[in-house]
């Protein structure tokens, strides 16, 4: 799970919870069957608030990749911040993107590393085939590289950069946060020392913070089902000597070296984030990665902050307008139509509700309005039909006692304008 300073996380999250009634997004906790993994996996899909209002609108997608010892829920705060800050730049005319975080946790250790591994399973194929197919088949996500974006933290930061490098024809931009961007002697020596300190020898066991993460990395980079009890090859032996055959496997996945394989016209944009005091020693790997980008004259933006291996909300707040500007450019340059809606004139309360809800709205002139409740598939499950309303603020009460518990959408139709707010029924 991504660490974060407690005070900062509480302040940010509290602020977003207070503004939740503004309904800047719709969250779907979903699951689907993965043919690649032959199992059901969880996935969080966040939709723009007006997703069901404009059935003709198509959207870009931001795929968030979580860190070790985490799951699809790790991307929630990132999504909240994204939707609450989208469009602060008045030049941005495109709608907010669909925000997706799929579960890439797996047995037996702390994560898949988003790679195909004989120990973990084909998690690279799972993401590239099943996750993207699920999103683009079930939501109005534009199936074009110019509208696919990657971001991730720690293990996810590595995974996001790796997917971008391996599949530059599938993604437009990546925000990589505190991943392992190069296999450096500095990083390897530090990790060897950490593991020795935790185990009292170079014979690593699966205990301790660093040892768990190191073995998890080995499960992706150097798995070996013939070596018990952990089924991985460690890059150093029990005397602390480096094992070249294992190091060669790790270096084949050096992201800074993979930069040279990018096509000349790759149209791939980079935003790099890392703490300068990261005890996981990722900061030097970002410097090396930048050297590779410079060598091949590939542009990038970055935010290197004073801090350790923690999620840094200020960096994400910088990355959001960067992402939005690229998304907006794709809409403009490819001629995709955009529809923006004003939701400031409607409120639904209380949320959550059990027996009744109140729908308040503002009318400039007397109008006939239609009020209904939809399920998440867009089907009307309850309606009070057409209601005559005068000018000014209006409030209509609706009985929802017969509705099953769940998440719904309250829909208000005023003339040609439709407004939607999320409703939670207890």
* Local confidence pLDDT in tens for the 426 residues of the chain: 565 433 333 333 333 333 333 457 889 999 999 999 999 999 999 999 888 878 889 999 999 999 999 999 999 999 999 998 888 888 888 999 999 999 999 999 999 999 999 999 999 999 999 999 999 999 999 999 999 999 999 999 999 999 999 999 999 999 999 999 999 999 999 999 999 999 999 999 999 999 999 999 999 999 999 999 999 999 999 999 999 999 999 999 999 999 999 998 778 999 999 999 999 999 999 999 999 999 999 999 999 999 999 999 999 999 999 999 999 999 999 988 887 554 446 778 887 888 999 888 777 777 788 888 988 767 789 988 787 777 677 788 899 999 998 878 888 887 767 777 778 888
Residue tagged 């080995």 (tokens): 218
Phi then psi dihedrals of residue 182, to 5 deg: -160, 150
Asked if 199 and 211 count as a contact pair (C-beta separation under 8 A), the reply is: yes
CA 94 remoteness from chain centre: 19
The neighbouring-strand residues paired with 6 are none
pLDDT at 35: 97
The 3-state secondary structure of 194-262 reads HHHHHHCCCCCCCCCHHHHHHHHHHHHHCECCCCCCCCECCCECCCCCECHHHHHHHHCCCHHHHHHHC
- In sequence order, the β-bridge partners of residue 275 are 305
pLDDT at 391: 66
pTM of the model: 0.80
Phi, psi of 405 (to 5 degrees): -60, 145
Cα–Cα distance for residue pair 195/190, rounded to 1 Å: 9
What structural domains does the chain harbor?
A: 6-182+254-334 (3.40.50.1820), 185-251 (no CATH), 346-425 (2.60.40.1930)
111 within 8 A of 155, measured Cβ to Cβ:
yes
Q: What φ, ψ does residue 192 adopt, rounded to 5°? A: -60, -40
In whole angstroms, what separates CA 20 from the centre of its chain? 19
Question: DSSP label at 97?
Answer: P
CA 386 to chain centroid: 40
Instruction: Name the DSSP class of 365.
Output: S
């Amino acid at each position: 799970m991504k660490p974060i300073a407690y005070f900062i996380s509480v302040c940010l999250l509290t602020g977003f919870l207070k503004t939740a009634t503004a309904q800047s997004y719709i969250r779907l906790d979903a699951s689907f069957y993965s043919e690649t993994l032959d199992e059901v996996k969880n996935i969080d899909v966040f939709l723009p608030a007006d997703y069901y209002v404009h059935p003709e609108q198509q959207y870009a997608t931001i795929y968030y990749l979580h860190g070790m010892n985490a799951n699809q829920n790790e991307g929630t705060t990132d999504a909240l911040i994204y939707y609450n800050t989208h469009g602060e730049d008045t030049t941005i005319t495109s709608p907010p993107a669909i925000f997706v975080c799929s579960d890439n946790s797996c047995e037996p250790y702390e994560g898949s590393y988003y790679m195909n591994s004989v120990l973990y399973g084909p998690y690279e194929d799972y993401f590239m085939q099943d996750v993207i197919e699920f999103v683009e088949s079930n939501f109005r996500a534009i199936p074009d590289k110019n509208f696919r974006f990657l971001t991730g933290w720690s293990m996810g930061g590595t995974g996001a950069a790796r997917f971008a490098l391996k599949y530059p024809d599938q993604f437009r931009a990546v925000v990589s946060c505190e991943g392992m961007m190069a296999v450096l002697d500095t990083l390897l020596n530090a990790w060897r020392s950490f593991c020795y300190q935790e185990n009292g020898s170079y014979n690593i066991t699966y205990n301790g913070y660093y040892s768990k993460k190191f073995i998890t990395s080995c499960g992706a980079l150097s798995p070996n089902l013939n070596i018990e009890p952990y089924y991985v090859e460690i890059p150093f032996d029990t005397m602390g000597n480096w094992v070249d055959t294992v190091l060669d496997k790790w270096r084949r996945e050096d992201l800074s070296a993979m930069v040279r394989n990018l096509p000349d016209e790759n149209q791939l944009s980079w935003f790099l984030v890392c703490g300068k005091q990261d005890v996981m020693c990722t900061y030097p790997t970002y410097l090396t990665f930048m050297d590779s980008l410079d060598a091949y004259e590939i542009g990038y933006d970055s935010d290197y902050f004073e801090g350790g291996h923690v999620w840094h909300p200020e960096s994400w707040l910088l990355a959001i307008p960067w992402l939005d500007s690229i998304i907006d450019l794709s809409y403009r340059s490819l001629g995709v139509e955009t529809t923006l809606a004003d939701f400031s004139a409607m409120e639904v309360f209380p949320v959550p509700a059990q027996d009744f809800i109140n729908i308040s709205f503002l009318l400039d002139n007397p109008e006939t309005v239609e009020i209904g409740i939809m399920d998440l598939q867009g089907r009307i499950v309850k309606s009070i039909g057409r209601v005559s309303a005068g000018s000014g603020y209006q409030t209509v009460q609706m009985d929802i006692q017969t509705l099953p518990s769940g998440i719904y959408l309250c829909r208000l139709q005023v003339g040609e304008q439709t407004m939607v707010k999320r409703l939670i029924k207890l």
